[in-house]
């Protein structure tokens, strides 16, 4: 079964966006009596920066957790690369090439920056245990290749100076960057960023925005991100899904979304009936 | 050289050898604690269980024979064959892996994200369960274990030291072997943890579950792997202790000696377990030798614990444990 939509579109700045990589169909997610996501559908296309925005408690993080397999929706289908995805554990989703970061940062605090980023490469290590221990044959070649790709990412995100520092000692902004590096190291088909700018000062936000754009540009990585800072999102993303109280209230280019009355109401706070 | 000093040196060497065995048991604790935050009280019983199973397989004992005989009125005890040591060790290892899988599947998978004290209680339960299981499967009589490791005084050391000091040291061959095997085991474990994919994944799981999941690590796989590793270390320790002093219930009590070793070495450090074991081994033998006669002996029973207590006061994280830094 292959329903992959191959036609894409061209962005304002001339980037070619490809077909649909991931599609959410009528997703509904409940926690007991609380409906976190209500019948939401949208797609993510090859090479685009796709944002999910909305006020606090809109269900954005829940949606990201559905994509990354941390939550399983009661209703709805997830389609990935033209195939319906069966219920999966988060680690299985990760092995399929969907990498993510967390709102509250989940790093291996006791390990160095380099080791942390290397864990991102785990899905690209296939050599046998004995070969790895003895550093022979396939393992050696693999390790060298993995090192190279990791160093490239470390260079790219400008964290060379802290390569050997245990992550626990780093300030918040740098931790966020290391987390991004680890996710990138997996060479993901889709990169999920959960509030990448949360808790950052203006300068750090600018840095992070630049990195997100550069990653997309340099590696052609498809990025889906959650953010509630409207300004940042509008500058970064190609298409935006807007959520409010678990429902989708808007979907389109930043300009379309900006002029959508429902979206304006949600953000400015109009009484819900 | 005064003979007191020469004897002291012999005691020191013997202490080192005893320490290696303590370190072996402590190593099992460290492995599980590092990867899952579980303090595995049943590590000592695992060593006993492994040794019992090994003897049982080697002797061709029928497992649960008492139970079977009592139920069906039969009289079967032995299959009538003997399994060579190496094969029996491999089979026992398979049993330990199966045990690891069961323990994770039936107990700890259901206790994810519980308080450490609850996990600890679960391991106490596991300890008593395993003890009873070992009894039921293989019987409770004391067994001798002989996998072909050389025992008795090492004549070369005896001769060489006699040549130098005019007094031959008594060093047991078994202790020498234990030291060598422990050294190989430690190097292998360190290489595994530091340089292999699975080792890196193990450290990752120990550090943060969510993050580990997000890079594609299966927590269950790692837990089963770690319990299997601990089972392997238990088997090695069981072989050493079992050969030395017979396979019997008191084997499980060596786990208690591992506690002070961990206090010294830190719960999270593999080298710490080794050094801690050596310090305790040497410390208690030397203390017994020097101070023992003055206080009527039997200091070996308490020395390790008092030393651990002193360490708790001055260096709670142990010699090599990760430093405890609380951010306020």
**How many residue pairs from chains A and B have C-beta atoms closer than 8 A?**
82
**Which residue of B195, B200, B211 is in closest CB contact with A106?**
B211
Residue B322 lies in a domain: no
DSSP B248: S
CATH number at residue B64: 1.10.3470
In this predicted structure, the answer to whether residue B324 has a pLDDT above a threshold of 70 is no
What are the residues whose beta carbons fall under 8 Å from the beta carbon of A136, sequence distance 6 or more?
none
**Per-position DSSP letters for B28-51, written without gaps between them:** HHHHHHHHH----TTHHHHHHHHH
C-alpha dihedral sign at B302, B303, B305, B310: positive
In this predicted structure, the answer to whether residue B326 has a pLDDT above a threshold of 70 is no
Q: Which residue has the higher pLDDT, A137 or B20?
A: B20
**Strand partners of residue B292:** none
CB contact under 8 A, A120 and B215: yes
What is the per-residue pLDDT for A273? 56
**Which residue of B200, B212, B216 is in closest CB contact with A118?**
B200
- Residue A107: closest C-alpha in chain B: B211
Q: Which of A119, A132, A189, A190 to mutate to test the interface with B (most CBs of B within 10 A)?
A: A119
Q: Which residue has the higher pLDDT, B170 or A130?
A: B170
CB contacts, 8 Å: A70 with chain B? 213
Query: Can you give the length of chain B in residues?
Result: 328
Residue B191 lies in a domain: yes
**Which residue of A108, A110, A182 is in closest CB contact with B322?**
A110
Let me know the angle formed at the C-alpha of B244 by B240 and B246, rounded to the nearest 5 degrees.
Answer: 100
3-state secondary structure of B326: coil
CB contact under 8 A, B191 and A133: yes
- Residue A185: closest C-alpha in chain B: B215
Question: pLDDT tens for residues B12-42?
Answer: 988 988 888 888 888 888 888 887 778 888 9
Looking at residues B242-269, what average pLDDT do you find? Answer: 83
Q: What is the ipTM of this complex?
A: 0.85
Residue B325 lies in a domain: no
Query: What are A's interface residues with B at a Cβ cutoff of 8 A?
Result: 68, 70, 89-92, 94-95, 99-100, 102, 106-111, 115, 118-120, 122-123, 125, 127, 129, 132-133, 135, 182-183, 186
CB contacts, 8 Å: B210 with chain A? 102, 106
Q: Give the total number of structural domains in chain B.
A: 1
CB contacts, 8 Å: B196 with chain A? 129, 132-133
Looking at residues B126-152, what average pLDDT do you find? Answer: 88
CB contacts, 8 Å: B193 with chain A? none
Among the four given CATH numbers 3.30.390.50, 3.40.50.1000, 3.40.50.2300, 3.40.50.300, the one describing domain A20-97+190-273: 3.40.50.300
Range of the domain at B96: 3-314
Tokens linked to B191: 């290489």
In this predicted structure, the answer to whether residue B322 has a pLDDT above a threshold of 70 is no
- Say if B198 is an interface residue toward chain A (CB within 8 Å): yes
Q: Which of A65, A71, A91, A144 to mutate to test the interface with B (most CBs of B within 10 A)?
A: A91
Looking at residues A148-154, what average pLDDT do you find? Answer: 92
CB contacts, 8 Å: B191 with chain A? 133
DSSP B291: T
- Say if B210 is an interface residue toward chain A (CB within 8 Å): yes
CB contacts, 8 Å: B187 with chain A? none
End-to-end CA distance of chain B: 57
Query: Can you give the length of chain A in residues?
Result: 273
Looking at residues A168-188, what average pLDDT do you find? Answer: 92
CB contact under 8 A, A94 and B215: yes
- Say if B37 is an interface residue toward chain A (CB within 8 Å): no
At residue A270 the predicted structure's pLDDT band, cuts being 50, 70 and 90, is: low
Question: pLDDT tens for residues B143-160?
Answer: 888 888 888 888 888 888
CB contact under 8 A, A108 and B211: yes
Residue B326 lies in a domain: no
What is the per-residue pLDDT for A3? 42
SS (H, E, C) chain A: CCCCCCCCEECCCCCEECCEEEEEEEEEEEECCEEEEEEEEEEEECCCEEEEECCCCCCHHHHHHHHCCCCCCCEEEEEECCEECCCCCHHHHHHCCEEECCCCCCCCCCCEHHHHHHHCCHHHCCCCHHHHHHCCCHHHHHHHHHHHHHHHHHHHCCCHHHCCCEHHHCCHHHHHHHHHHHHHHCCCCEEEEECCCCCCCHHHHHHHHHHHHHHHHHHCCEEEEECCCHHHHHHHCCEEEEEECCEEEEEECHHHHHCCHHHHHHHHCCCCC
At residue A143 the predicted structure's pLDDT band, cuts being 50, 70 and 90, is: confident
Residue B328 lies in a domain: no
User: To the nearest whole angstrom, how far is the Cα of B173 from the nearest Cα of chain A?
Assistant: 30
**Strand partners of residue A190:** A98, A222
State how far the Cα of A43 lies from the Cα of A41, in Å rounded to an integer. 7
Buried b (16+ CB within 10 A) or exposed e, B278-302: bbbbbbbbbbbbeebeeeeeebeee
**Which residue of A89, A92, A186 is in closest CB contact with B215?**
A186
Mean residue pLDDT of chain B comes to 87
What are the residue ranges spanned by the domains of chain A? 20-97+190-273, 113-187
What predicted TM-score, i.e. pTM, was given to this entire model? 0.83
3-state secondary structure of B74: coil
**Per-position DSSP letters for B213-244, written without gaps between them:** HHTT--HHHHHHHHHHHHHHHHHHHHHHHHHH
What is the per-residue pLDDT for B254? 75
- Residue B210: closest C-alpha in chain A: A106
What is the per-residue pLDDT for A39? 94
3-state secondary structure of B91: helix
Q: For chain A, what percent of residues have pLDDT higher than 90?
A: 56
- Residue A90: closest C-alpha in chain B: B213
At residue B328 the predicted structure's pLDDT band, cuts being 50, 70 and 90, is: low
What is the per-residue pLDDT for B123? 93
CB contact under 8 A, A132 and B208: no
What is the per-residue pLDDT for B164? 84
What is the per-residue pLDDT for A1? 37
């Amino acid at each position: 079964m292959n329903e992959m939509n191959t036609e894409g579109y061209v962005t304002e700045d001339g980037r070619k966006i490809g077909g649909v990589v991931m599609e959410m169909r009528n997703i509904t997610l409940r926690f007991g009596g609380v409906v976190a996501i209500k019948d939401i559908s949208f797609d993510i296309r090859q090479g685009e920066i796709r944002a999910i925005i909305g006020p606090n408690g809109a269900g954005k993080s829940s949606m990201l957790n559905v994509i990354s397999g941390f939550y399983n929706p009661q209703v709805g289908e997830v389609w990935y690369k033209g195939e319906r995805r069966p219920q999966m554990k988060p680690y299985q989703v990760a092995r399929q090439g969907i990498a993510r970061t967390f709102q509250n940062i989940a790093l291996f605090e006791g390990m160095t920056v380099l080791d942390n980023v290397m864990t991102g490469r785990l899905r690209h290590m296939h050599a046998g245990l004995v070969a790895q221990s003895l550093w022979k044959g396939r393992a050696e070649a693999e390790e060298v290749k993995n090192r190279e790709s990791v160093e490239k990412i470390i260079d790219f995100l400008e964290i060379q100076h802290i390569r050997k520092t245990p992550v626990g000692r780093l300030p918040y902004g740098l931790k966020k960057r290391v987390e991004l590096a680890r996710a990138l190291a997996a060479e993901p088909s889709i990169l999920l960023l959960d509030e990448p700018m949360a808790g950052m000062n203006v300068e750090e936000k600018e840095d992070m925005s630049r990195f997100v754009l550069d990653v997309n540009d340099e590696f052609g990585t498809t990025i889906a991100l959650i953010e509630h800072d409207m300004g940042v999102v509008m500058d970064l993303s190609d298409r935006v899904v807007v959520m409010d109280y678990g429902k989708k209230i808007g979907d389109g280019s930043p300009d379309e979304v900006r002029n959508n009355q429902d979206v304006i109401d949600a953000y400015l706070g109009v009484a819900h009936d | 050289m005064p003979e007191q000093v020469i004897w002291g040196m012999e005691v020191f060497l013997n202490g080192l050898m005893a320490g290696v065995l303590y370190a072996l048991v402590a190593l099992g604790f460290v492995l599980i604690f590092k990867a899952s935050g579980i303090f595995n009280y049943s590590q000592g019983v695992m060593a006993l269980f492994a040794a019992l199973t090994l003897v049982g397989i080697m002797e061709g004992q029928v497992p649960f024979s008492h139970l079977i005989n009592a139920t069906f009125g039969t009289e079967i005890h032995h299959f009538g064959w003997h399994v060579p040591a190496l094969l029996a060790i491999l089979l026992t290892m398979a049993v330990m892996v199966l045990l690891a899988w069961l323990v994770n599947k039936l107990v700890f998978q259901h206790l994810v994200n519980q308080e450490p004290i609850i996990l600890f209680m679960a391991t106490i339960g596991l300890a008593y369960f395993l003890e009873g299981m070992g009894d039921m499967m293989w019987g409770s009589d004391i067994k001798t274990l002989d996998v072909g490791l050389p025992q008795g005084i090492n004549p070369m050391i005896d001769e060489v030291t006699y040549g130098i000091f005019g007094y031959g040291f008594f060093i047991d061959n078994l202790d020498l072997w234990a030291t060598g095997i422990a050294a190989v085991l430690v190097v292998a474990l360190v290489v595994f943890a530091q340089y292999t994919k699975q080792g890196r994944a193990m450290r990752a799981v120990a550090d943060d579950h969510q993050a580990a999941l997000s890079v594609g690590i299966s927590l269950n796989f790692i837990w089963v792997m770690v319990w299997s590793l601990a089972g392997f270390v238990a088997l090695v320790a069981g072989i050493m202790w079992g050969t030395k002093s017979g396979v019997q219930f008191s084997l499980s009590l060596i786990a208690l000696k591992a506690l002070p070793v961990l206090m010294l070495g830190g719960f999270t450090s593999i080298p710490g377990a080794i050094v801690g074991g050596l310090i305790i081994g040497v410390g208690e033998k030397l203390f017994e030798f020097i101070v023992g006669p003055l206080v009527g002996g039997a200091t070996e029973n308490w020395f390790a614990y008092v030393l651990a207590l002193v360490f708790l006061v001055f260096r709670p994280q142990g010699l090599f444990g990760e430093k405890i830094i609380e951010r306020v």
